[in-house]
Structure 1
Amino acid sequence: MLLNTDQAPHRRAISLTPLIDVVFILLLFFMLSSTFTQWRQIDVSAPTEANVELETQRVIKLISNDGKFTFQGQTYSAENNGSVERLVAEDKEAVYIIQVEAGLRTQSMIDLLDSFKQAGAVSVTLSGIN
Structure 2
Amino acid sequence: MRLEATRKRRSIVGLTSLIDVIFLLLLFFMLSSTFSRYSELDLGVAGVGTGRGQTPKLIISVSTEEGVRLNGKVADLSDPDVALAPFIAEGVTSAVVVPKGDVKLQTLVSLLQNLRNSQLKSVSLAN
Mapped contact 1:57–1:96 kept (Cα < 8 A): yes
Show CA shifts across 1:64-84 (max 9, x none): 38x931123310122244543
Mapped contact 2:45–2:126 kept (Cα < 8 A): no
Residues 46, 126 of structure 1: alpha-carbon distance in 2 compared, 3 angstrom cutoff: closer
Residues 115, 52 of structure 1: alpha-carbon distance in 2 compared, 3 angstrom cutoff: farther
Question: TM-score w.r.t. structure 2 length?
Answer: 0.55
RMSD between superposed Cα atoms in Å: 2.9
Q: Could you tell me which residue of structure 2 aligns to residue 127 of structure 1?
A: 126
Q: Could you tell me which residue of structure 1 aligns to residue 93 of structure 2?
A: 94
Show CA shifts across 1:10-39 (max 9, x none): xxxxxxxxxxxxxxxxxxxxxxxxxxxxx4
Alpha-carbon separation, structure 2, partners of 1:74 and 1:93: 16
Kindly tell me the number of residue pairs found equivalent between the two proteins. 89
Alpha-carbon separation, structure 1, partners of 2:57 and 2:124: 10
Higher relative contact order (Cα pairs below 8 Å, separated by 6+ residues): 2
Q: Could you tell me which residue of structure 2 aligns to residue 71 of structure 1?
A: 70
Name the % identity. Answer: 10
Alpha-carbon separation, structure 2, partners of 1:110 and 1:87: 24
Alpha-carbon separation, structure 1, partners of 2:73 and 2:113: 20
Partner AA of 1:53 in structure 2: Q
Question: TM-score w.r.t. structure 1 length?
Answer: 0.53
Partner AA of 1:63 in structure 2: S
Task: List gaps (5 residues or longer) in structure 1.
Answer: 1-38
Matches within 5 A, 1:1-130: 39-47=38-46, 48-50=48-50, 51-54=52-55, 56-64=56-64, 68-87=67-86, 89-90=88-89, 93-128=92-127
- Quote the offset at 1:117 in angstroms: 1.2
Residues 68, 86 of structure 1: alpha-carbon distance in 2 compared, 3 angstrom cutoff: farther
